[in-house]
Amino acid sequence: MDGNIALIEAGGTKFIVGVGDVSRRILARTRIDTTRPEETIPAAIDWLRQQGGNFCAVGIASFGPLDLDPASPTWGHINRTAKPNWSDTDIAGPFGRALSCPVAIDTDVNGAALGEWMWGAGAETNSSLYITVGTGIGGGAVVGGHLIHGVSHPEMGHIRMPRHPADRDFAGLCPFHGDCLEGLAAGPSIKARWGASLSDLPSDHIGHEMIAWYLARAVTTFQAILEPARIILGGGVMATPGLIERVRTEAVAGSNGYFAGDAQKIIVAPMLGDDTGLLGALAISRRDSLALRPI
């Protein structure tokens, strides 16, 4: 693939727009506030045009849910999102038409999963699962070099959970399921219970044990389904000191040593750092031709 790649990390509060090349370099970037589609998307296109144009592809890593069914007339659209003004927005089409090149799109979580497998903590494995724990919880998996999709992308944050014995009264915050994994362990649920982020709670506060307990159960559930070589835990909540160690310990204890391998090597932190979003968009643009679609 010759030429540069237009990169879009489409988030609920900001779009990070960039230019990348096939050597994995990010050559330029900017930030655009996410307001309304008719403002934000043209602003991103204008900036990309100012970078000299001549793109060979567009890679988009977007908040979702997204329509990723190649046979769907609304492929590349954001659908049924809780974010005001963005439901049923065609996000892939405007970039492809304006820049006259094919578009690859997937979720921001899948982008991070693919980027970490290509260049980060999942490199040189045949299977890698990425879970982000932040404002929400999401997961993506790469097996044999391919992101796993069904008719759409996975929604791993919405698995149902057993209840921690000291967490019987909290209803959970997921607007769809209440006490699913995201409803019990994402950042807003921590603030709702204890009025602070996990990293601001004292290290002996039960919140640390409780959130690690939920995440460890999620980890062992995904191990049972997929047994991936790596389970990469990222996102703002995972930046809490000591949390990944607690998750590892609880995952080993909670599964009675059932799963193969060394938890230290399997349950790991991400490696791509602040560029995860744009590198995810770049990874999406470079995967197999199935996803790179002319508009």
Helix (H) or strand (E) holding 82: none
List the x/- string, 102-141, binding to Zn ion by CB under 5 A: ----------------------------------------
Query: Cβ(214)–Cβ(164) under 8 Å?
Result: yes
* Nearest to Zn ion of 193, 248 (CB atom): 193
Nearest CB to Zn ion, comparing residues 105 and 174: 174
Strands 55-62 and 127-133: unpaired
Residue-wise burial string across 244-281, b where 16 or more C-beta atoms lie within 10 A, e elsewhere? bebbbebbbeebeeeeeeebeebbbebebeebbbbbbb
Q: Is 174 in the site for Zn ion (CB under 5 A)?
A: yes
DSSP alpha helices (H): ranges in 3-101? 37-50, 92-99
Encoded amino acid at 112, one letter: A
Q: How far apart are CA 28 and CA 11, in angstroms?
A: 18
Q: Which stretch binds Zn ion (CB under 5 A): 73-81, 83-91, 167-175, 218-226?
A: 167-175
Contact track, Zn ion, 253-272, x by CB under 5 A: --------------------
Stretch that binds Zn ion, among 48-56, 82-90, 152-160, 287-295 (CB under 5 A): 152-160
Tokens 């919405």: give the residue. 158
* Piece of 14-22, 158-166, 205-213, 233-241 that binds Zn ion (CB under 5 A): 158-166
Only one of the segments 102-110, 174-182, 246-254, 283-291 lies at the binding site for Zn ion (rule: CB under 5 A); that segment is: 174-182
Which residue among 14, 163, 177, 191 contacts Zn ion (CB under 5 A)?
177
180 lines the binding site for Zn ion (CB under 5 A): yes
Residue 210 tokens read as: 């409780």
User: 162: which 2 tokens?
Assistant: 């057993």
Asked if 246 interacts with Zn ion (CB under 5 A), we say: no
Residue 181 or 291 with smaller CB distance to Zn ion: 181
Instruction: Compute the distance between CA of residue 3 and CA of residue 54 in angstroms, rounded to an integer.
Output: 7
Least distance from C-beta 289 to Zn ion, angstroms?
A: 33
Nearer Cβ to Zn ion (136/207)? 136
Work out whether 29 is an interface residue with Zn ion (CB under 5 A). Answer: no
Residue whose CB is less far from Zn ion, 68 or 156 = 156
For position 32 contacting Zn ion by CB under 5 A, the verdict is: no
Question: Between 177 and 246, whose beta carbon lies closer to Zn ion?
Answer: 177
Tell me the C-alpha distance between 270 and 268, whole Å.
Answer: 7
Does position 158 bind Zn ion by CB under 5 A?
yes
Nearer CB in complex with Zn ion: 176/258:
176
- CB closer to Zn ion out of 66 and 180: 180
The residue type at 134: G
CB count within 10 Å of CB 25 equals 10
Amino acid sitting at position 221: T
Classify 178 as helix, strand or coil. strand
* Residue 123: its H or E element: none
Q: Using CB under 5 A, list all residues that contact Zn ion.
A: 158, 174, 176-177, 180
